[in-house]
A and B are shown apart, each in its own frame.
Chain A
Amino acid sequence: SSRFGRYKRKQRPRHWSVLSTTWLLERHVVHHGECPNACSWNLSKLITDPGGYSGIGIPLKNKTESVTHSPLGHSTAASRERSRDRHKSRSKDSRSEKSVTINTPPAEPLLGDSSVRGEQVQDDNWGETTTAITGTSEHSLSQEDIVRITKDLEDSVGLNCRRYLTRILAVILGVLVLLTPLAFLVLPHLLWPDKLQKCGTACEGLYISIAFKLLILLLAVWGLFFRPPRASLPRVFAFRALLSVLVLLFVISYWLFYAVRILEAQDADYQGIVQYAVSLVDALLFIHYLAVVLLELRQLQPCFSVCVTRSTDGETRHYNLGQLSIQQAALAIIEHYYSDFPVHNPALLSASKSRAAKHLAGLKVYNVDGPGPGNNPAAGLAHSQSRAMIAAAARRRDTSHNELYYEEAEHERRVRKRKARLVVAVEEAFTHIKRMQEEEQKKSPGDVMDPREAAQAIFPSMARALQKYLRTTKQQHCHSMESIQQHLAFCITNNMTPKAFLESYLTPGPTLQYSRDRWLARQWTLISEASVTSGLRDGTVFLLKCVDFSLVIAAKKIPFVQMSEEYIDPKSHKFVLRLQSETSV
């Protein structure tokens, strides 16, 4: 009986999805207005025609066998809607600069529509972005950041090679530094063991202190310098270079002193040698403290308020940064960009572009008088042309503001209508799930329905409403069918309400929320007039250019606050009821 029950349970979702598929295909046939006999031709057209009014990008290859034809006549309303949509999509294609790609299911965008221009994948490491400098006075030398040693590397060394090289150099320096005190202690025993004085408990105490200080130093160096890097910057970080040079000089000077005064003289006082090694370790700990202050603490206190604006749609955010160099500030801002800025949607800019094109498109300039003798004809022509165009545009009765107003009102109404339909469809779908769950509970208690199956079961019922809504708000390229189903399964697993499910589709979220190929922001170029290792200053402006847009960054200094103390009468700032009375005497 259990086997029978299992078989029954598997059967139901498949049955439901088959039904829903046929329902959708029938409606699709209706909308095309074609003869149902040519349905198979329509289905193939569905996959390969990105610009036409296509239905949902269902993976039809495993569902075509369940198609049923039914002679449904098309209504005039449907044909009107169909022709309007066809006309709209055609004109949209003629105006947009998108390239058309054909995606394979299941990663197909919801419409099989044109996706936005494909990006070259730069590198696959999570969180890695490359910054290249195109300043005005840069040479082709590039220096690393993570390294603790200044070294000039040639351009031919690859990026990965550079990173590993700096890591290796850092490790070598660290090992050298940590082994030096041990070497100081061990060498006298190796070289002149018979001459050494025995030192008792004082030395042993010093041994213990050296051991623990070395352990602490090891942990501190590991904690501070061997964290997974967030990014690789092209220019060396001045403080790290300074610190590494300092450490190197320090260790070298200690070695020199040791070599000259102790090894050559073969000093017999072992306690002195041990104390010398202890002083070295102490000094290393202090240098590490200096490193913590210079590298970490100094840039924590906010000093500048930077205003970051996206050039295409004007999204602006303000951040507080400390005393950073320009490249570090750019790095911090890029990280903030991915988590704060809504994803860049080029489809939303097409309206303003078309308006801009229309402004001067209606004017044609004819030059009646020929080019004058003596002066440059081309320059004079261009100059007079532009002046004439500006004057004519100013005089022309421009009614484009009217169009804009009504277009926006119409769009708003359409969005609201589609949103209402979408909300109702999603709510119905979720109640259906709840009902199914309750039935399952009653039939066989303890069985939990797979959320993935449930998502696939109810997805077709709301897919059309969701697709129409995304199309109206021009977000259809941001969400693929697979991602929507995944999100639906996620919401069902966590017992979310339909409103929670819809939230990610109603408002554009931050760039990180979408999959990588929708980001449109993978390779950044830092453009700055000042040198990128110079610090931020009041009025610093630099650019972070991407292929589609650029971020304009302006820094302003947080004002200096001067507080002074002075005594005031405690009653002077409180409310006092004052009277003026008159008495007769």
Chain B
Amino acid sequence: MLPAGCSRRLLAELRDALDACAERQRQLERSLRVSRRLLRVWEPAETPALEPTPGPDTNEEARPPARTPSPQDLKELELLTQALEKAVRVRKGLSKAGGRDEAPSRKSRSIVSPATTASVPPRASGQAGRRASETKPPRGVRQTTVPAKGLPELRLLSVGDQTCKARGAQAAKPEPGLRDQQMAPSAAPQAPEAFTLKQKGILLRLPMAFRKAASQNSRLWAQLSSTETGDSMDATTTAKTQFLRKMQSGWPSSRLCAAEVEAEVGRLRKACSLLRQRMGEELTADPVDWMQEYHCLLTLEGLQAIAGQCLHRLQELRAAVMEHQLAPWPEGRLPSAPSSCGGGADSIWSPQLLLYSSTQELQTLASLRLRVAMLDEQIHLEKVLMAELLPLVSTQEPLGPPWLALCRAVHSLLCEGAFRLARRAGRDCRAGLAERGAGGSLRGTEALPAVQGGEGLRTRRGHPPGRGSACFVPLPNSSIFPAGLESPRGIIGAQ
């Protein structure tokens, strides 16, 4: 059993990590649900119904029984209908001459708004008029005889255009809506086809109101993000700095605040990893002449100096924290891993575009991102576990079975488990033998039985030359010991 403090801290870390993972999973599940639903057949309630009741909107309140179209309406309707018929004829002539190569599926489809599918034109128009909330999305597909006339451009565009108001509110655009109304009586009402994104997704159009709002939104964001220069902005900036100065006056500003300490510690952590990375590069480089060698030496010395400076700075920070009892924001959870990016303030507030060309690419990108996050977390956990567990191993009472179990568990936690998914799982337990060499940890890969037979004994205290050789030890019981199994002796003890 681990001591209480250690347990608490480690449990907290691991649970934090599990919570974060679960949260990501939850968000992903939400998005998955939405996307899956989109790709299925859209519910019939969302596709236009043929009976007078339009769409999924609760129609009861939408149809006050008292509302009847006036004769004026009917007359207008009649006129418009005639005009529309003529338009259809003209276009029909044009399109036949044109001979378009539309996708076959498109020819037989058009998108209509649900409210216009009513075979009772005045009623429908009245309802549609009421349903003027512009977010009326285009409904599914309704097979009418109209498309059979081969008029692809009769595809209804911006559906939310209040096209169905027969009240003459929109003399400019009654055409599309009323056309459908006109078609409806002439067409035998047919069963609505199921709408799937796959087949008919190309035909969708966003409602006009939404488009307007969205473009206004991006325009406003662009305005907000633009770095305006000008007298007024300069004056404001000066006023702000002056205000800050006055706020600060009288109090020693050299005191560090917790947020700054946190930021600096983050920078120093990044520094450490960059220094280490550079050191690795220098150590593995192979100098061809003395100049490169000298360069390498100087670099390493420089790295050492910088590391010393960073350490010094860190000690200053530590002293400041101790002295002033700086406490960070208690609710906030410190990021469990240092993100490798700078994390600085972004002056571009609206999202930029990320272009991808194939699903494969997108998947690669997403999985790489997750892998980086995972590795970040793993490194952090590794450090935390190292800091907590290794001291335990060295201070606990050795020779007892619990200690051996501890060692084995610590090893499995700290030294194994690359998260590589393609790697073979589990540990098959041909034992490799370790050598107690000059501080090296080694792995031989010979299977134990073969080993046992041939070679002679060597005590561990010997120093066999070279890295590849292994020490052999006679095992008191069965030769193969799965590293994960509990045995009364724990790790092999030869006595």
Asked if A and B bind, the verdict is: no
